[in-house]
């Protein structure tokens, strides 16, 4: 039986290798490739899912890393983590702004807003690891909030009809308590 094939697009996160490790520990075959691969590459890769990693850049600046347009046309789930969430939100019609209170870095409580789907089984006010200077300030059309933190009202968002999910925190690190 073939294993699921996941494409991880690397935006420069210090945790990209750890994302891949966590997927592989779950018996998911994945490969890491640069964020700027071609549309043809994405189509030929034929992933069952795509992960947009975090990264140190700000989507509010002019020439920051972007993913190929083919990411959105494959009809597969797309998970954006940190910068990946911000880029996904901006690309699909939302807004991203610098965090008014400065960067959020470290342990934060995740308040589960909607536990019916993706966050079923995640404890209320569980600890997650945040690391960001920007945040989503307006959700894209079709997205809804599944979780939030005190300074970040859109910590977990999803457009389940299209299979797009975004996390402002890093689920792959040991500091995030509910990683499963």
Please give the positions annotated as active site.
Answer: 82, 170, 172
Non-local (6+) Cβ contacts of 176 within 8 A are: 127, 128, 129, 169, 170
What are the respective helix, strand and coil percentages of the chain, to the nearest 5?
15, 35, 50
DSSP state of 70: G
DSSP state of 1: -
Q: Dig out the tokens for 67 from the structure.
A: 């993913």
């Amino acid at each position: 039986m073939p294993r699921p094939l996941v494409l991880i697009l690397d935006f420069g996160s210090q945790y990209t290798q750890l994302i891949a490790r966590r997927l592989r520990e779950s018996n998911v075959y994945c490969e890491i490739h640069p964020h700027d691969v071609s549309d043809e590459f994405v189509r030929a890769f034929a992933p069952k899912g795509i992960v947009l990693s975090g990264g140190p850049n700000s989507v509010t600046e002019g020439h920051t890393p972007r993913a190929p347009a083919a990411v959105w046309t494959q009809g597969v789930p797309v998970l954006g983590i940190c910068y990946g969430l911000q880029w996904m939100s901006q690309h699909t019609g939302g807004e991203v702004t610098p965090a008014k209170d400065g960067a959020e870095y470290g342990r934060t409580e995740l308040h589960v807003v909607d536990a019916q789907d993706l966050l079923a089984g995640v404890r209320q006010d569980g600890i997650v690891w945040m690391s960001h200077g920007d945040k989503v300030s307006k959700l894209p059309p079709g997205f809804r909030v599944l979780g939030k933190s005190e300074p970040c009202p859109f910590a977990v968002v999803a457009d389940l009809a299209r299979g797009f999910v975004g996390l402002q925190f890093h689920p792959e690190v040991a500091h995030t308590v509910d990683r499963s």
